[in-house]
């Protein structure tokens, strides 16, 4: 929300000269303030409003994106390979359907949640 963004800029004396690494140290705290006690939709709207307000207060789009990333903090699992890279690997190496199924099974087996891992019993990709 605009009020939270304004108080954040004043509290930490953020300026257009504030470095991106320094801004990234505030991401989790800001996310907590913007989402505290709100539904997912309300939190999304609050993040959008705050991002606009940061830009109105003189921060660049890149700085606002650093403070309020698209992906919520703590949601990215570093050791997992992004799907885009896996897809490029499959296309580049012209893998067979069996090899693709093996990759899919491995991904499902390593899923962090039971919902994401429900496909682990499926050994067939549908085209």
Residue ranges, the chain, pLDDT below 70: 1, 71-81, 111-127
Residues 97 and 46 in one domain: no
Q: How much is the pLDDT for 126?
A: 45
pLDDT at 83: 80
Is 11 a member of any domain?
yes
Same domain, 40 and 15: yes
Q: Are residues 12 and 63 in the same domain?
A: yes
Q: What is the pLDDT of residues 61-90, one digit of tens each?
A: 999 999 998 765 455 555 666 788 888 888
Count of the separate structural domains present in the chain: 2
Give the C-alpha separation, 49 to 84, whole Å: 30
- Per the structure, the complete domain to which residue 105 belongs is given by 83-121
The whole-number pLDDT of residue 108 equals 76
pLDDT reported for residue 39: 87
5 sits in which H/E element: helix 2-12
């Amino acid at each position: 929300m605009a009020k939270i963004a304004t108080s954040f800029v004043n509290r930490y004396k953020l300026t257009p000269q504030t470095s991106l690494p320094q801004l990234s140290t505030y991401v989790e705290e800001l996310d907590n303030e913007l989402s505290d006690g709100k539904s997912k939709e309300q939190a999304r709207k609050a993040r959008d409003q705050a991002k606009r307000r940061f830009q109105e207060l003189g921060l660049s789009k890149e700085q606002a994106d650093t403070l309020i990333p698209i992906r919520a903090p703590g949601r990215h699992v570093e050791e997992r390979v992004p799907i885009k890279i896996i897809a490029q690997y499959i296309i580049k190496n012209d893998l067979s359907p069996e090899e693709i199924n093996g990759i899919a099974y491995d991904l499902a087996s390593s899923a962090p949640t039971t919902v994401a891992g429900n496909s682990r019993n499926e050994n067939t990709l549908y085209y």
